[in-house]
Structure 1
């Protein structure tokens, strides 16, 4: 990430980078203006040095595979223009994010990001905007965002950014630590006001896994012991996922959820997953096309909207990243996504020097989105901060230092 020619920091660049993040965080608030801001800001950095941008994109071309597949899916989609437009927008989001990450100084990047989040968390804290969950009757704070889920995701990321800025900024960078402390305080207050147990739990788990991973990576243990521990952890993860999938299909899961006073359908998710699996069986190889399901007059979409008691045409997904991508891009997209996830984990395990705040933030982002992927589908969406952060994680994990390994 430091191998490229950084743009000279000046007032104009600060404004461009801040506007870039503002358009991603406030995209549900200012609508189409956010897309215009994003394209103008991202495009201006891209064309600043075309040859340098091309060199960067060539190195990280793996990140462009799924966006390109999304565009190609327009050929077999029933809503070809929606798939094509969405795919192009996803490609632009990915391209601009990659170039920005590689060409902007990391301190400027983080300071603009944290300042944007301070505004977003402050506005959400002051806001009384709420939304009614049609299935549960629960009224939830949504702040400046379009839904409770989007508030939860951005608040969780805000906590992560605040922790990184306050605890991992250079000791001499007092401004960054102050901004980080303010953001952490505001994000925690939003969490408390939103009364979201699920978000609080996922944030806590992601921070715990982040610190556990960094502690484990810095331990000087033998290569063979580390290999065995890695194998053991992977086996445990696969077992947990397998047990969770199996339990969802058995009656004792429903009984357990009723016993603790929770909804065994996970707020309708089990039904939505089943409808997604039905669609997969209809188009298993290539899928239905990028963003081609949740459109007005689609029978499956209308059925899910009616089941969830939301307005027809509302933004929606299958609340599971693996099901969602298989539905839209078929086994081809699912396979590429899983291979990319495995490569991302492999890159993650090559890192052991955690003095770079961008790397630490990327580790938090990875654990948060990975744990969320089983209940939400927020990745691979155009003009979203999530897509930027996944690009950040891939690029940060690619910039590694070699470990001195004890093989005795």
Structure 2
């Protein structure tokens, strides 16, 4: 066995590690639905697999730190691409200074910083197409496993109680599965579009399974986000080949309409029944108002990272106002404002805006369907955080992908005429020498990235 074959095996093993690492952070390996009762059934419980899965998560992070140390240049190259992201990340452990629960915020902040390193590894090790392939493999396996698990163990995988009949798969709640499967639809759809014909049928089959899971969860938010993202795919495709403002205006209109529809769907009872009814019918609007009132008391830096919703913390005032114990604000933008104030919200919004701006610039230059992935993921974050909270959480897949996607995008510009001529000269030279460049050159239509 020669050196090249050994190196090839090592690289394949590293991809397997990346795929497995993403699966670990989806939460499906805890098999929580097997041990935790459905909402409204009563009782409690925890999965015996939670601790082993946490250990796997830390092992994944540890390996990523080692691999980053072995490739410091590639790591430093991507780290500087999104300063707003790092402003947000560094606020999490520092927030112990003003937190109502200093040790808790410090511990969770350090854990979040560690989780971020796995996203940095993915961005520094793989280009965007490779990253999309890895995410597709990992999330495709997750979707198929969740589907088969529920068919094999319907007593665990299908909700009882309040949400009776809705699928939750191996996860703790139907909304958690809906959120995950709405995300899974993106990479599987894009991969099916640009994959070779021999793989296309399999990928479309996985996509169909994902769609079924979204429907079977009976989540209104999950369905609305999924439908919106699917409407955006052809519009982003048109955006790749056409100029003008018609398509961007249409995309903006879809965001506005879908956002309003999602909020209305999740808060239908208050519009119908008005105030003064049972808290179970109050929807999220009262929770949002009570949370915003608390933000006004400490607007700039919040109550400390993940400190607000602690049992003896400031959340008691919100719970008294809405008359039930909410685990979070059910809105990512409100939640981050409670944790890290308007400063933290500014960092997140600017990071998300950077993803949109660079994603659109990239989409204008590159023609591959894979280049739609950053824009679609940013859209997913924007839509889902209106009724759920997926912003900067420790050991959380959505945060890892935010880091990986954001840091995979550099500054984009078209090649100048002189750079095009230089590119052609290089390609002609290597073609004459029957060689390939030691490092890939950009295509004539490609984006050029500077750090």
TM-score band (shorter)? 0.7 to 0.9
Instruction: Tell me the equivalent position of 1:70.
Output: 92
Could you tell me whether the CA contact under 8 Å between 2:359 and 2:372 is conserved in 1? no
What whole-Å deviation, never above 9, does each CA across 1:82-118 have from its counterpart, x for those lacking one? 2112111211122211212331444445434433443
Q: 1:110 to 1:184 in 2, by over 3 A?
A: closer
Instruction: Tell me the equivalent position of 2:375.
Output: 363
- Correspondence 1:339 to 2:365: no
In the alignment, the residues of structure 2 paired with residue 347 and residue 266 of structure 1 have an alpha-carbon distance, to the nearest angstrom, of 41
Report the TM-score when normalising by structure 1.
Answer: 0.78
Instruction: Tell me the equivalent position of 2:184.
Output: 158
RMSD (CA atoms): 3.8
In the alignment, the residues of structure 2 paired with residue 153 and residue 277 of structure 1 have an alpha-carbon distance, to the nearest angstrom, of 24
Residues 150-159 or 10-19, more deviating: 10-19
Report the Cα offset of residue 326 of structure 1. Answer: 0.9
Across the two proteins, how many residue pairs are aligned to each other?
376
Instruction: Tell me the equivalent position of 1:288.
Output: 303
Aligned counterpart in structure 2 of residue 278 of structure 1, from 265, 290, 293? 293
Aligned counterpart in structure 1 of residue 208 of structure 2, from 177, 185, 202? 185
Residues 98-107 or 375-384, more deviating: 98-107
In the alignment, the residues of structure 2 paired with residue 190 and residue 234 of structure 1 have an alpha-carbon distance, to the nearest angstrom, of 26
Instruction: Tell me the equivalent position of 2:25.
Output: 24
Aligned counterpart in structure 1 of residue 313 of structure 2, from 298, 308, 313? 298
In the alignment, the residues of structure 1 paired with residue 317 and residue 89 of structure 2 have an alpha-carbon distance, to the nearest angstrom, of 26
Instruction: Tell me the equivalent position of 2:170.
Output: 144
Instruction: Tell me the equivalent position of 1:3.
Output: none
- Superposed, 1:109-124 pairs within 5 Å as 109-124=135-150
Could you tell me whether the CA contact under 8 Å between 1:67 and 1:88 is conserved in 2? no
- Superposed, 1:300-339 pairs within 5 Å as 300-301=315-316, 304=319, 316-339=327-350
Residues 193-202 or 324-333, more deviating: 193-202
In the alignment, the residues of structure 1 paired with residue 391 and residue 153 of structure 2 have an alpha-carbon distance, to the nearest angstrom, of 26
1:141 is paired with a residue whose SS is: coil
Q: 1:308 to 1:132 in 2, by over 3 A?
A: farther
In the alignment, the residues of structure 1 paired with residue 8 and residue 288 of structure 2 have an alpha-carbon distance, to the nearest angstrom, of 45
- Correspondence 1:98 to 2:124: no
What whole-Å deviation, never above 9, does each CA across 1:264-286 have from its counterpart, x for those lacking one? 99852112112211210111111
What whole-Å deviation, never above 9, does each CA across 1:290-317 have from its counterpart, x for those lacking one? 100222223525853995756xxx8x22
Q: 1:16 to 1:155 in 2, by over 3 A?
A: same
Instruction: Tell me the equivalent position of 1:381.
Output: 393
Report the Cα offset of residue 343 of structure 1. Answer: 1.9
Report the Cα offset of residue 391 of structure 1. Answer: 2.2
In the alignment, the residues of structure 1 paired with residue 87 and residue 247 of structure 2 have an alpha-carbon distance, to the nearest angstrom, of 32
1:349 is paired with a residue whose SS is: helix
Could you tell me whether the CA contact under 8 Å between 1:125 and 1:193 is conserved in 2? no
Could you tell me whether the CA contact under 8 Å between 1:26 and 1:120 is conserved in 2? no
Q: 1:267 to 1:34 in 2, by over 3 A?
A: farther
2:307 is paired with a residue whose SS is: coil
Report the TM-score when normalising by structure 2.
Answer: 0.71
Report the Cα offset of residue 81 of structure 1. Answer: 1.6
Instruction: Tell me the equivalent position of 1:41.
Output: 60
Q: 1:235 to 1:209 in 2, by over 3 A?
A: closer
Q: 1:239 to 1:266 in 2, by over 3 A?
A: farther
